Structure 1
Amino acid sequence: MARIAVIGAGMAAMAASARLAIAGHKVTVYERGTTHGGALGRFERDGFAFDTGPQLLHLPAVYRDLFVKTGKESLEQSVTMSQVDPASAHVFADGTAVALPNASRAGVVGALDAAVGPGAGERWSDLVNRGREVWDATRRPLLEEPLATGAAREALGRDPYPAVRRRGLFRRPAPPALASVAARELKDPRLAALLESHALAYGLDPRTAPASATVLPYMEQTFGSWYVAGGLRALADALHRRCLARRVEFRFGAEVTEVLEEDGRAAGVRLADGGTAGADVVVAGVHPGRLAVPAPGTVGPAPVPPGRCTVLLALRGARPEGTAHRTVVHAPDRAAELTGIFAPEAAPAYVPTVTVLRPDDPAVRPDAQHEAVTLTATVAPQGAVDWRARAGEFADRMVRAAEAAVPGLRERLLWREVLTPADTEAATGAEGGGVPAPVLAGAGGAYLRPANTTGTSGFYRVGGFAHPGGGLAHAGMSGALVAGLVVEGADFRGSR
């Protein structure tokens, strides 16, 4: 039995902790804050309750596997889940509106044909099918296996998105960036906006993200969008309970500042209060800039990814029957929005793409005559923008945009709370409040993350700033990979 110190109580760290504990190890989690869950936070006031991070679960099989492997109660016995239908509604810049059914290829084709025009659905479906080829090529090496080395890793730098056959002597290969794929293959600005919004939701710039990012809408359309009753915070609570059942010890208010090394391997952690704790293995589930670690320089500094601006709205009046759980109100000027996110020093005020979340859940509102609504937008990180100064006026723009999905919104408003990347940075320690994206193949490996192993024996990385990157499903897989590496060592070949 090894003594294992886990730094941070986010979802990836808890996923690793539960798996390591069931393997017989003594696991202690050190968390600087007062609660578990990391990005899966919760805000409550006056009978309203809001998730402050992700609100829908994609690829639920990751957490089904986690709960099966760590206890008797399944995921469905631990939380109540349901597929949202439609999966999403969209309001485009020209006013076109469409609702896309959940996990139904034929339904999506029909909806897009009706809203955008004949042939639109098939063009979208053809592109998503090419995203399936990306999934087939990268699912194992990018989601289920430790990060490859040597020639295998070099291969991940090549974009697996398949070239579209064209007539004529010269056949162009697939474009290197998602935006050019959208323009060339979808042939309609609304469909292009639909594709780009999937990348933007993860903080990816569609002008530079590889075409392999088509795997993101493929995953959502194929595996569905799931809501957890009470909000996704309930999933964090269930995983915390599972850890406790496996005798994982949590120490809150215990900030780790340094990973200790002895004879070339991890030997424990140093705490902010000056104390130390010995360990045979250390798993770091926090932003790498927060720690002094052995073998400095094994991971170079990475650009700070975009963050999220979230506006929590308490509304008077009942949620109308038939309201979509999620509506994306697309920006009227995508170029201005992308400048505002990725080059904010040159950007004038712009109206962002706003995702409007309206769960039909009695647990998040005081009664049936009120509604809890959350608005989110991808934005530049704290530091690139001073969000402490700009939060109010940016939230005003988000609310005005959201009225395309919630008519009369401002007249119904009781109160609001605004959370920006500055708040994320304060709560989680992530530099600039940046939210890491999932890993992608292509672009010479620029969208990969550092491996879960490090240059120091017994020291591992888990979570969004390590392989396989950000996103709730990827966090769960990160925990599975680290647990496998600790338990099986160099023989571990991936999740099965």
Structure 2
Amino acid sequence: MIGAGTGALAAAARLAVAGHRVAVYERTETYGGALRRRERDGFAFDTGPGLLPLPAVYRDLFVKTGREPLEECVELVQADPSSRHAFADGTRVSLPNASRAGVVAEVEQALGADAARRWGDFLVRAREAWDRARRPLLEEPLWPNWEVLAGREPYPAVPHRRRLRLRTAATLAEVGEWELRDPRLRALLESHALAFGLDPRTTPASAAVLPYMEHAFGTWYVRGGLRELARAVYERCLARRVEFRFGAEVTAVREKDGRAAGLELADGTAVEADLVVAGVHPAALERMCGTRLRGEGEVPARREGASRTTVLLALRGARPDGTPHRTVVHTRDREAELDALSGGGLPAEPTVTVLRPDDPALVPDAGHEAVTVTAVTPAGAAGADAYAAYAERMVAAAARAVPDLRDRLLWQEMRTPEDVARETGAEGGAVPAPALAAADGRFLHASNSTRLPGLFTVGGWSHPGGGLPHAGMSGALVAGLVVEGPDFRGSQ
């Protein structure tokens, strides 16, 4: 197995339980992919994802690979409210965790009865999109039915009269404009796509499943940080006798008799194998194979994902009671933000996500607070000065959620797409987005099987795409394809 990201670990544990001898070769010195931790002066921060949606994916992994359930290996805590949104006009709304009725009630209190009705009706339509797309999009192998996903828009948009014609929304932005109307609801909707670097003006309406998943299944925090989830999955692999080789960079996939037959490492070591599972960026895998792995008639080549910039803030003073775990601070000029990002630039005023976990494990004592501020950033290098200025703009935006931030600040540390690239190997520090239906397949990811027999792909850069739940699902799909072969019909 190439790489020790979360999806690869999930596949490794499942394959080991199925009787395979599994060896993982990871070019860095640790496991977890994007699930990293930064520690300094008694503070600790997640530098990748900070919350876990759809924990059932990892509950299933632990049930299928051992006696101890997930909750005996990590402490899961519901983030309630799931999020607080600070809008450009100063309005704020807190969304309860996993409660549609509670969310609608909070929207009504903050934004009015009409906004609440529209958001509630939207969630009903988003649920229908989820019911239509869930099985083929997330729980089944992609081939040969990807064209069905590509051509059918699962979101049942309301017909809208535009220029004397009735049209249905094709993009997420049109859903917001035509069905939600309130600019604050539109910002709430679009923030779920923006969090993955997707421009709602070009993202299909099927992205409505992203806020639905959060409202329906809840958002969870892992005590000690999300790095603890990676640790638990890694330890489950060790318990199933998966072997790990860290600091072992794979440079080539060996081929014999027309199928994958092993690996070659940077130090010249040759490793024989019956099959290879790769959890790496597609361009890196094609270099290892020396050939294209996507053929004519397969999923179209997908646009590179965006990256992220993260600012770690060490604050003096205790975390105030009643502080939400997550606050999304919306930009005052969404069009300018989207134009900057789509053009490869850094927005003058970004939308930021502020995480303030109530976790003693992350601070030196009760008189301090660890805060993480994250914003979407184009993949690639922008230069140290540009990132430093962007980090200051991010902190200024975060101050709308933490009014005394500047007075409490002990130190801050910035992490850029270059850091993401170094830790994950993704070119430009790109972060993969979840797979989405419709749009001619442009928002799907390549199949977990490849043109080279015996070679499979896992993790965020393959079906069903990025995000912790999707990575875990990819591990289940790969294990099913390996164990059951072409007759595998998907996870149960």
| Bin for the TM-score computed over the shorter chain | over 0.9
Q: Which residue of structure 1 aligns with residue 375 of structure 2?
A: 377
Contact 1:8/1:285, CA 8 A, preserved across alignment: yes
Contact 1:340/1:380, CA 8 A, preserved across alignment: no
What secondary structure sits across from 1:335 in the alignment? helix
- Specify which of 401, 406, 423 is matched with residue 405 of structure 1: 401
5+ unaligned residues in a row in structure 1: which ranges?
Answer: 1-5
Contact 1:147/1:153, CA 8 A, preserved across alignment: no
Q: Name the count of aligned residue pairs.
A: 486
Instruction: Using structure 2 for the length normalisation, give the TM-score.
Output: 0.96
Q: Which residue of structure 1 aligns with residue 320 of structure 2?
A: 320
AA of the residue aligned to 1:394: Y
Contact 1:388/1:422, CA 8 A, preserved across alignment: no
**TM-superposition CA deviations, 1:331-360 (whole Å, max 9, x none):** 111111112211135x7x511001000000
AA of the residue aligned to 2:339: T
Contact 2:444/2:465, CA 8 A, preserved across alignment: yes
Q: Which residue of structure 1 aligns with residue 152 of structure 2?
A: 158
AA of the residue aligned to 1:207: R
Matched, 1:486 2:482: yes
> Which whole-Å CA distance do the structure 1 matches of 2:87 and 2:77 have between them?
27
> Which whole-Å CA distance do the structure 2 matches of 1:165 and 1:37 have between them?
45
Q: Aligned runs of 1:18-417 on 2, under 5 Å?
A: 18-149=13-144, 153-165=147-159, 172-291=166-285, 292-294=287-289, 296-299=291-294, 302-344=302-344, 350-383=348-381, 386-417=382-413
Matched, 1:437 2:433: yes
Instruction: Using structure 1 for the length normalisation, give the TM-score.
Output: 0.95
Contact 2:277/2:456, CA 8 A, preserved across alignment: yes
**TM-superposition CA deviations, 1:434-467 (whole Å, max 9, x none):** 1010000010110001000001111000011110
Contact 1:13/1:463, CA 8 A, preserved across alignment: yes
Contact 1:161/1:174, CA 8 A, preserved across alignment: no
**TM-superposition CA deviations, 1:213-252 (whole Å, max 9, x none):** 0000000000000010001100000000000000000000
Superposed displacement of residue 109, structure 1: 1.0
> Which whole-Å CA distance do the structure 2 matches of 1:266 and 1:155 have between them?
29
AA of the residue aligned to 2:413: E
**TM-superposition CA deviations, 1:58-80 (whole Å, max 9, x none):** 01110000000000000111100
Contact 1:141/1:148, CA 8 A, preserved across alignment: no
Q: Which residue of structure 2 aligns with residue 421 of structure 1?
A: 417
5+ unaligned residues in a row in structure 2: which ranges?
Answer: 295-299
AA of the residue aligned to 1:99: S
> Which whole-Å CA distance do the structure 2 matches of 1:130 and 1:64 have between them?
28
AA of the residue aligned to 1:189: P
Q: Which residue of structure 2 aligns with residue 3 of structure 1?
A: none
Contact 1:387/1:422, CA 8 A, preserved across alignment: no
AA of the residue aligned to 1:145: E
Contact 2:159/2:169, CA 8 A, preserved across alignment: no
**TM-superposition CA deviations, 1:395-444 (whole Å, max 9, x none):** 10000111110011011111111001111111211011010100000101
AA of the residue aligned to 2:251: T
Contact 1:294/1:456, CA 8 A, preserved across alignment: no
> Which whole-Å CA distance do the structure 1 matches of 2:234 and 2:162 have between them?
59
> Which whole-Å CA distance do the structure 1 matches of 2:164 and 2:317 have between them?
60
**TM-superposition CA deviations, 1:351-384 (whole Å, max 9, x none):** 100100000000001111000000001111114x
